[in-house]
Chain A
């Protein structure tokens, strides 16, 4: 398994857990308030710090397991896989932004727009990690 595939596994799992927790918390707060929760800076900050800390720790572990792979640059296959997965993941983000804008156009709910954009970012990033793994295993 390449360094980038290991990294995609670690970051994908981290993002599913932390992103899931973030979305679930916003959902619960919205239900309690009986309206779309406003953007919660403290919640976003906790999620961001947890994600960065998790990324640092997981990459240190990956580098310790295979230091040689961690030191190497991307080779031509890495570049091809990462470019293709990033390209397709961009469509997820674009679709989410488009859906958010249409939602705002019809409902005029800025809070919902914020959450849709955040969820789109999370989903597109998870898609990028998933596609990276698929392309490494099946060929890009």
Chain B
């Protein structure tokens, strides 16, 4: 199994808190495909810094409110 990036995210949680925004709508907002949003939510893909900023701006929160670093994943 490929090693997952040690980056956690709250994209799904924030999306649901945002009037249950659909994955497609978020994907459109940040300029990626719906499959990429799914991969981000599942932790299979770490977005570029630009997309990370776009996601945080869509939800009106800071970058670290969306993404975090999982210290346990590196041990």
In the complex, the answer to whether A138 meets B51 with C-beta atoms within 8 Å is no
Indicate if B25 sits at the interface (CB-CB under 8 A): no
Bound CA–CA A72/B47 (angstroms): 18
In the complex, the answer to whether B36 meets A75 with C-beta atoms within 8 Å is yes
Q: A75-B31, A76-B47, A76-B51 are in contact. Are A138 and B36 (CB under 8 A)?
A: no
Bound CA–CA A69/B32 (angstroms): 11
In the complex, the answer to whether B44 meets A75 with C-beta atoms within 8 Å is no
Inter-chain contacts of A136 with B (CB < 8 A): 35
Inter-chain contacts of B31 with A (CB < 8 A): 75
In the complex, the answer to whether B1 meets A2 with C-beta atoms within 8 Å is no
Q: A2-B33, A69-B33, A139-B39 are in contact. Are A76 and B48 (CB under 8 A)?
A: yes
Type the 1/0 row for A103-140, where 1 means its CB is closer than 8 Å to any CB of B.
00000000000000000000000000000000010111
A-B contact count (CB 8 A): 34
User: How many residues on chain B are close to A (CB under 8 Å)?
Assistant: 15
Inter-chain contacts of A65 with B (CB < 8 A): none
Inter-chain contacts of B33 with A (CB < 8 A): 2, 69, 72, 75, 77-78
Can you name the residue of chain A whose Cβ is closest to the Cβ of B32? A75
Residues of B at the A interface (CB closer than 8 Å) are 1-2, 4-5, 31-33, 35-36, 39, 44-45, 47-48, 51
Residues of A at the B interface (CB closer than 8 Å) are 1-2, 69, 72, 75-78, 136, 138-140
